[in-house]
Amino acid sequence: MIKEILTTRCVPAAIIDDVEAAVPLAEALLAGGLDVLEVTFRTDAAAECIRRVAQGCPGMCVGAGTVLTVEEMDQAAAAGSKYVVTPGLGEDVVARAQKLGVPIIPGVLTPTEITRAWQMGCKILKFFPAGAMGGIATLSALAGPFAHKGIKFIPTGGVDAKNAAQFLALSCVAAVGGSWMVKRELIEAKRWGEITALAREAVKVCAVR
């Protein structure tokens, strides 16, 4: 799995509308101590943003998020994504990622989905939407039957600076994902200094072991 994610324990998920903002965003995060960035496929600019960061910021572990189709998986891989995150368990997307040799973190929500993801060889899973589906209590209950299989989770959706440490205190949590340090409005306004400050705060919050 991607060592940067497991080391930093924080995955900023960004929606980037303007490709010109991709590299400055990555540089702002790096200045704050975060060397992981998930660019979500929620805009037409996503693939080009990933390409620019992959080429222009070698110190950044850039990946693709919200990947829903095999076509998007191919675009992400071609752009240089070092990992891929999906909101749900799309088995065709998982299979394609594995064929291409790109680490994938599929989204899960139920014991059945966790079991199937594990059967497909995935041991780091996205738990989404964490906040809306019971948060820490639900994740703790779900994780129990799978702990001995080495399965770890990255909760996203409703995770922020206030509760990230609580999630990370769980032995089943490998990292947390969120957009609180890369909010769309901050990127659009090019408030790079503020993003750096939020990234620095996130590093401190996620340092809990």
pLDDT in tens, 2-51: 788 889 999 999 999 999 999 999 999 999 999 999 999 999 999 999 99
CB 87 within 8 A of CB 62: no
**Chain segment 128-149, per-residue pLDDT in tens:** 999 999 999 999 999 999 999 9
Mean pLDDT of the chain: 96
Alpha-carbon gap, residue 77 to 81, rounded angstroms: 5
pLDDT at 1 over 90: no
Q: Tell me which amino acid residue 39 is.
A: V
Distances (CA, A) of 47 to 13, 26, 66, 131, 134: 14, 15, 12, 28, 33
Alpha-carbon gap, residue 164 to 36, rounded angstroms: 16
- Region 177-182: what's the mean pLDDT? 97
Match 């950044």 to its residue by tokens: 60
| Nearest residue to 198 via CA among 10, 6, 43 | 10
**Phi, psi (5° rounding) for residue 110?**
-130, 160
* CATH number for region 3-205: 3.20.20.70
Q: Helix 70-79 to helix 46-56 angle, to the nearest 10 degrees?
A: 20
**Chain segment 64-102, per-residue pLDDT in tens:** 999 999 999 999 999 999 999 999 999 999 999 999 999
Instruction: Please work out, in degrees rounded to the nearest 5, the angle formed at the alpha carbon of residue 153 by the alpha carbons of 24 and 90.
Output: 80
Residue-level pLDDT at 208: 63
* Tokens describing residue 82: 């070092």
Alpha-carbon gap, residue 39 to 57, rounded angstroms: 14
Residue 200 per-residue DSSP state: H
Alpha-carbon gap, residue 113 to 106, rounded angstroms: 10
Radius of gyration from C-alpha coordinates of the chain: 16
Task: Give residue limits of the domains in the chain.
Answer: 3-205
CB 153 within 8 A of CB 172: yes
Q: Which residues are catalytic?
A: 38, 126
Q: pTM value?
A: 0.96
- Region 55-69: what's the mean pLDDT? 97
